[in-house]
Amino acid sequence: MTKSVTLRRPDDWHLHLRDGAMLQAVASFSGHFGRAIIMPNLVPPVVTGAQAAAYRDRIRAALAPEMTLRPLMTLYLTETTDPADVLAAHAQGIISAVKLYPAGATTNSASGVRDFDKVRGVLEAMAQAGIPLCFHGEVTDPAVDIFDREAAFIDRVLDPIRRATPGLRVVMEHITTSDGVDYVAGNDDIGATITTHHLVINRNHILAGGIRPHYYCLPVAKRETHRLALRRAATSGDARFFLGTDSAPHPDRAKESACGCAGCFTAPNTMSILAQVFEEEGALDRLEGFTSLHGAAFYRMEPNEDRIRLVRREIPAAYPTHIPAGDETVTVFDPGFPLYWHLEDPA
């Protein structure tokens, strides 16, 4: 018997589309989503409302007319960000959130924040206006082990900022630890995105038996106990947890190098992977909440009205292993198991 699941069209609350030839190559693979929060860490970063509007126009131009994706733009928070520009960009509907990268935490984060006191004025203005702040939640202190940087961030940065800025609405992006799960589950005015790949891989997938660069991401995958905590959170039905793929394309030459880039390109097969994960957890009835309802509620938006359908077939779905991007290639994330759930759009 054929098994199928019909969902409101999903949203991606954390997506990298890059720019130029890479944007042209990858945008269509997220075209079946309704909306996506677009990351601003270009080179140079998107730091003003005018730059966000221009980037939004480039994304729209890269999408085929029949694609549903609506890009929701963000500003890259720096120590010189003007609160007035943030408020104006939000009031004009140009941006939906602001992204805070601790300087040096991840790809193209050199312009991020080092002294959090210097952004206090922006955060206070955002709290008053109800503008969400999306955190890349890791400290960059070299004395802190890379596997402990999320937990240290909660104690050293996130909790103090939330206490000092009442009413600030926070998204803790791409959580990877049980510490992150527990913190979000125990607080209000906070949400958390969980990526597709962190539900599938642990650190052994990256390191055991040889280094696998296409599983390397930041925050780096942690122990199996943390992966299982993420799966419990994602499939729990708790509205504080929602999908943010953090799909992050890099040219293969940059991934497969002596100092490879961090990021997993999951946009093509995310929905098939998620259906398989939720089926394994006996939680297919909660997939729509995680992908289509919880994030919209946090961002104070209505769920998408149209639907998609996922159908489980005996023959695995076929996805490309690589895609061309100008003169480069990009490797599509391999979950390590066949994907029997096929995405049908429209239902």
Tens of pLDDT, residues 49-89? 999 999 999 999 999 999 999 999 999 999 999 999 999 99
123 marked ligand binding residue: no
Q: Domain segments of the chain: what residues? A: 7-306
The answer on whether 41 is annotated among ligand-binding residues is yes
Is there a binding annotation on residue 342? Answer: no
With a cut of 50, say whether residue 129 has pLDDT above it.
Answer: yes
Is 87 annotated as ligand-binding?
no
Report the sign of the C-alpha dihedral through residues 62, 11, 34, 84, in that order.
negative
- The CA distances from residue 74 to 80, 88, 95, 216, 245, in Å, are 16, 13, 5, 25, 16
Instruction: Please measure the distance between the N-terminal and C-terminal CA atoms of the chain and give it in whole angstroms.
Output: 18
C-beta separation of 241 from 294 below 8 A:
yes
pLDDT at 293 over 80: yes
Average pLDDT, the chain: 95
What pLDDT is attached to residue 347? 41
Q: Kindly indicate the confidence band of residue 109, based on its pLDDT and cuts at 50, 70 and 90.
A: low
- Residue 239's Cβ-count burial label (10 Å; 0-12, 13-18, 19+) is middle
Q: Is the pLDDT of residue 37 over 90?
A: yes
**CA–centroid distance for 300 within its chain:** 18
Tell whether the model's pLDDT for residue 323 goes beyond 70.
Answer: yes
Q: At what angle do helices 224-234 and 270-280 cross, to 10 degrees?
A: 90
CATH superfamily of 7-306: Metal-dependent hydrolases (3.20.20.140)
What confidence score (pLDDT) does residue 114 get?
Answer: 85
Q: Catalytic residue positions?
A: 246
Record the pTM: 0.96
Burial class (CB in 10 A: 0-12, 13-18, 19+), 319: middle
Q: Across residues 303-310, what is the average pLDDT?
A: 97
Is 231's pLDDT higher than 60? Answer: yes
Rounded Cα gap, residues 30 and 216, in angstroms: 21
Residue 218 counted as an annotated binding residue: yes
| Residue 295: pLDDT over 60 | yes
